[in-house]
Structure 1
């Protein structure tokens, strides 16, 4: 026989809050809608517990009525088509996830950009090393023709779709492989080496400005998305290695996989924007400073969204047990 007074004292606050939310004709705040769902699920569990352990008829009747009211309110709040969940995702959940993982993808960005720059300089300064990857004929062809023509070889819309698909696949691979840690570094190394070889070719032929002109408009955002995918993937892998003092390995991994799914969905339209930049802006007839300025403006807007607004979105996360699926950095 359970202590009914103790159980009521422990759960009564949640039941009263559920009654308040269920009595409202409409809930406009997404946080309150989420709270309503959680409290309804808990009340249903409490009702099941009471029925099996302490069938007090008065309390069972009151709690049954409350559960029915909660179910009706949940159905009413979630009924019909609404863009609010989508708006809430892009306004709060995605930027919050980007902000919480900022140390992982930000550190990768700094280290890999620096390493790539060093590799470009080293290959440009050591033709014998560069020759291990491309021969002299290919070097001349890349520097004089194929690097620039690559961006205008296909129609802009087709090229944008192609690079969007390729980059989304690479980023998804980094996210999915993160649980194993090492494959992420292999994917990053392959991408970094390819960029370094092309950059080394262009710099060795005094075409470094052309390399930056054609890389910066889309590359700032595109490569950042790759770093985000790789950083979040590594964070997922770290979740089961070092889950922390409050969660089991399984709980930590599940929480960060959810976070990774949020980021994965959010990177799809972001990479589409990068693909449009690469298909329409990079090969355009605009002056080089204008093309770079467009790419830089879009990139800075993404960073502001992820870091500045992301911090605000993270502060607005739900509090209490219902936020347990939102991990901390």
Structure 2
């Protein structure tokens, strides 16, 4: 059979496949079955033409035409790629909030433990002048409570300061998540250091009559910032625990799912910490009354927690885990 006879015999099938591929979103059940059958047949035709089995050399024009047709038919059979905007919407309405919501017990535990440590250390320092003396000289402590603490928030241009804070906080959160590789055993130590530093400064400020300054400057951005840090610690420790107790699934499969979910939190926290950094640079050192500045911080925290609870709980009830829609390591089983 020569190439002309081959084209003449199969042209109707090619035209029909082209028509079905163009109407991919408006096909009936029977037409979908026909599309699949024609796709397989034309793919075979393409192989025949490429191999020169039609009785002559492979026709480059015909190969190109059939290749394009098979590619469009394959897209129609397997489904088009999900639009980028759909992935972004899914990330912020499903992936990120559901992972945060499912880690809520770890999240609450990290927050309560850290704040308890900070409170104990702060109260101990505030009530013991001897302990304060081991931290610094009277002149150094006076410089901290009267100048350095407040000046930190206004000594740099707002835009530069916001960028610095954002990068620093994002790095701290990434460290917490990265420690999950070692079963999360170092995460409590990182939280301890963070809580201890907070407690030391709080204790010194309270002991020197600067409690109002401390809380007025730390609360506007600190609520959201600490929530992000505690969430990073929570998902990191949860991933580490998955190594020990993977549940009913195979350990490798559970780790893969939880690992991808942790990456969702890592990306989501970039956005959360950006908001925190903007508040720290623009609201914390501003001339707004203290109740207004604190109110902005409380509002930002309330909106974030409401977002996680509403979207996270809804996604969890829908069976979502925060994993990608078609994970490569999950196969159907009976």
Q: TM-score, normalised by structure 1?
A: 0.74
How far the C-alpha of 1:242 sits from its partner, in A, is 1.2
Q: TM-score, normalised by structure 2?
A: 0.73
Aligned to 2:176: 174
Aligned mates of 1:184, 1:122 — CA distance in 2: 24
Aligned to 2:243: 240
Aligned mates of 2:73, 2:179 — CA distance in 1: 41
Aligned to 2:4: none
Structure 2 residues without counterparts, runs of 5 or longer: 1-22, 27-35, 41-69
Aligned to 1:25: 25
Aligned to 2:122: 120
Aligned mates of 1:135, 1:196 — CA distance in 2: 18
How far the C-alpha of 1:75 sits from its partner, in A, is 6.5
Residues 204-253 of structure 1 deviation map (CA, whole Å, 9 limit, x = unaligned): 00111111100000000001000000010000100101112x22322222
Residues 145-164 of structure 1 deviation map (CA, whole Å, 9 limit, x = unaligned): 11111100100010010010
1:224-303 alignment runs, 5 A limit: 224-244=227-247, 246-303=248-305
Cα 1:254–1:70 shift into 2, 3 Å = farther
Aligned to 1:103: 105
Does 2:330 align with 1:307?
no
Q: Which has the larger radius of gyration?
A: 2
Aligned mates of 2:136, 2:194 — CA distance in 1: 16
Structure 1 residues without counterparts, runs of 5 or longer: 1-22, 27-39, 45-66
C-alpha root-mean-square deviation of aligned residues, in Å? Answer: 2.6
Cα 1:318–1:192 shift into 2, 3 Å = closer
Aligned to 1:12: none
Aligned mates of 1:318, 1:117 — CA distance in 2: 37
